[in-house]
Structure 1
Amino acid sequence: MPAPQPTLVFLHGFAESPDIWTDFTRGFPAGYRVLMPALPGHGPQPGPVTDYAMEAQAQAVLARLDAAGADKVLLVGHSMGGYVALALAAAQPERVAGLVLFHSTALPDTDEKKAARDESAGFVRRHGVEKYMRSAIKPLLAPGNRKRLAAKLKQLEDIAAATPEITILGCLEAMKHRPDRTQVLRDAKFPVLFIGGHDDPAVPLETLLPQLALPAQSHALLLRGVGHLGFIEAPELTRQAVLDFAAVSFGQVTVGT
C-alpha cells in the first residue's frame, strides 16, 4: 500500500477563522493535504457549542481528523489554536507527527492575564463584540506593521467582529482556566517548532524562550519586527519555516541536511 498523504492541520486562534490560513497555505506543495477546521463556535456556520474548554475543542478537531481519514498529522496552531493543539497532543500523542506553536505557549495564564481576560469579558458584555475587536486586534501587530497591513488588519477585525458573543465569552473563560501543558513538550516524541515575535504582546519572548529547551527535538523561528500575527507580518519566512518543518516531521529530510 502507498504511504498515506502527509496532512497538515492548521488551527486558527481566538476570534479567528480558517480564512486566516487561505493566503498562507496557497501554493503549498501538492504532496501535502491541508486541513483548516473551524474551531467550535467559530467560522461562517458556528453552530451550538456547550463546552469551549481546550480539551473539548481538541476532541472536535480529532473528530474532524477521523472523518477525513487523517491518522498522523502535523499540527500548526496559532495562539489559542496552539492551546488546542497541545490538548490534542496530550490526549493522543501518537497522532502527532509534529507540532508548531505559532505565537502560542504551553504555559497557563498568569494571574495578571486572567484578570485581563475578565476585563475583556466585561467590556464585551457592556459594549459588544464589534467594539471590543476594533480595539483589541491592532495592538497585536508590531507597531511598524500596522500601517502597511491596514487591509489585512481590517480583514481580521471583520472576522473577529462576526464571532458570536457566546463564543468570545466562552473562549475567554476556557483560556483563563487551561492547564499548564509544559509536560506535553517534555514528553514529546515528535519535533516541535516555536514561532515567536520579538514584539508579541500576547506571548512575550521571555516566556517563550525557556520552553524551547523542553522538547527533545526543538526548532525555533524568532522574528524581529513581528508581533503576534506572523502569518501576515512575515508570511514568506513563516510559510517556509512551516514547510521545512513539515519535511522534518514527516521524515522527508533529516535534521541538519
Structure 2
Amino acid sequence: MTIHYEVSGKGYPVVFLHGYGETHKIWDHYREKLSNKYKVITPDLPGFGKSDSLPYEHSLDMVANSIYDCLKKLNVAECIIMGHSLGGYITLEIAKRFPNIVSHIGLIHSSALADTEEKKEGREKSIEFIQRHGVEKFIESFVPMLFHENHRDKLQETIQAIVEEGSKIPEKTLTDYMLAMRDRSDSLDFIKEFEGSILYVYGEEDPSIPVALSKSQIKFMKHPYLKNLPKTGHMGMFEEEAEVLQAISKFIEVTHK
C-alpha cells in the first residue's frame, strides 16, 4: 500500500498526524512555518486523502505499522511525532510499538484514555448516521461542531475546506476508524513510563474530550509540556493557531537543545 505524504525542510524530523475526517492539509501552515529549521513530514493516514486504504479491518496498531513503514522508507531513524485527536492515538501506538524511533510526542486535543461507555455509544450512533445518510452529510454536520462557537464565523473558509476534503473520504474508512477508536485500549501505563517529553495541548471547551478528562491525564506524564486553550474547542491548531504554533516551536526547541 502507498502512504501519501508531504515533506518540507531539513534537519531533525518532526511528523504531524491528522485527525479523523481530516487529511495532511490541516498541518500545511505548520509545515511551512517549521520547515525553516526542521524536516517536517505530514502523511495522510491510510484511507484518508491520497493514501491507500488498509486491505483489512482497521486497527490503530495496523495504522501505526503503516506510518512506521513510511518513515523507514524516508530513512527516519528518530523523530518527534505529534497528532491531532485520532492522530494522537496513533502517535501513542507508534511510540509504544517502535520506541527507538520516537524521542518525544505531542498530543493535540487527544487522549491516552480509552473511550468511556458514553463515548462508545456516540461512535456507534455516528456509524449508523454515516451508513444511513452518507459521508457528505456526516462531515457537514461533524466538522463545524468541533470548533468553539466563537470561532466558527471567522474560520468559515477553513471549516468549508475541511468539509470538502472530508467529504471525499470513503465510507468504509470512516466507519472502520470509528470502530478502531471505540475499541482502543488506554495508554496510561505507557505515558507513566515514557521517558520522552509530552506536549499536551487541550481546549477548555473541547466537545470531544471534556477538559476534566484532559486534566486527569497530566499527573501520569513524567515530562509534560502543557498548553491549555480557553474558549477553544477541538481544533486549537486553527482556533488559536499562533498560540499552538508557538507552543509546538518551543517544545521542539527545548527538547532538542
Shorter-chain TM-score category? over 0.9
Aligned residue pairs, count: 248
Structure 2 residue 163 is the aligned partner of structure 1 residue 157:
yes
Structure 2 residue 16 is the aligned partner of structure 1 residue 7:
no
Q: Which residue of 1 aligns with 2:44?
A: 38
Question: 1:72–1:95: 8 Å Cα contact kept in structure 2?
Answer: yes
1:34-183 counterparts in 2 under 5 A? 34-183=40-189
Q: Which residue of 2 aligns with 1:247?
A: 253
Q: Residues of 2 paired with 1:230 and 1:44: CA distance? A: 24
1:77-122: CA deviation from partner (whole Å, max 9, x where unpaired): 0000000000111112222111110000000011111111110000
Deviation at 1:48, TM superposition (A): 4.8
Q: Residues of 2 paired with 1:45 and 1:38: CA distance? A: 6
Q: Which residue of 2 aligns with 1:23?
A: 29
Q: Which residue of 2 aligns with 1:191?
A: 197
Deviation at 1:44, TM superposition (A): 2.5
One-letter identity of the residue aligned with 2:191: L
Report the 3-state secondary structure (helix = DSSP H, G, I; strand = E; otherwise coil) of the residue aligned with 2:141.
Answer: helix
Deviation at 1:210, TM superposition (A): 1.7
Q: Which runs of 5+ in 1 are unaligned?
A: 253-257
Question: 1:42–1:167: 8 Å Cα contact kept in structure 2?
Answer: yes
Report the 3-state secondary structure (helix = DSSP H, G, I; strand = E; otherwise coil) of the residue aligned with 1:76.
Answer: strand
Deviation at 1:24, TM superposition (A): 2.5
Report the 3-state secondary structure (helix = DSSP H, G, I; strand = E; otherwise coil) of the residue aligned with 1:196.
Answer: strand
Report the 3-state secondary structure (helix = DSSP H, G, I; strand = E; otherwise coil) of the residue aligned with 1:36.
Answer: strand
Task: Rate the CA distance shift 1:48–1:90 in 2: closer, same or farther, 3 A.
Answer: closer
Question: 2:195–2:222: 8 Å Cα contact kept in structure 1?
Answer: yes
1:104-148: CA deviation from partner (whole Å, max 9, x where unpaired): 000001111111111000011111000011011111101100111
Q: What is the TM-score with the length of structure 2 in the denominator? A: 0.93
Using the aligned pairs only, state the percent identity.
29
RMSD over aligned Cα atoms: 1.3
Deviation at 1:76, TM superposition (A): 0.8
Deviation at 1:29, TM superposition (A): 4.6
Q: Residues of 2 paired with 1:115 and 1:30: CA distance? A: 44
Question: 2:31–2:41: 8 Å Cα contact kept in structure 1?
Answer: no
Q: Which runs of 5+ in 2 are unaligned?
A: 1-9
Tell me which of the two structures has the higher relative contact order, counting C-alpha pairs closer than 8 angstroms and 6 or more residues apart.
Answer: 1
Deviation at 1:62, TM superposition (A): 0.5
Question: 2:232–2:239: 8 Å Cα contact kept in structure 1?
Answer: yes
Report the 3-state secondary structure (helix = DSSP H, G, I; strand = E; otherwise coil) of the residue aligned with 1:100.
Answer: strand
Q: Residues of 2 paired with 1:71 and 1:241: CA distance? A: 24
Task: Rate the CA distance shift 1:187–1:45 in 2: closer, same or farther, 3 A.
Answer: closer
Q: Which residue of 1 aligns with 2:228?
A: 222
Report the 3-state secondary structure (helix = DSSP H, G, I; strand = E; otherwise coil) of the residue aligned with 2:200.
Answer: strand
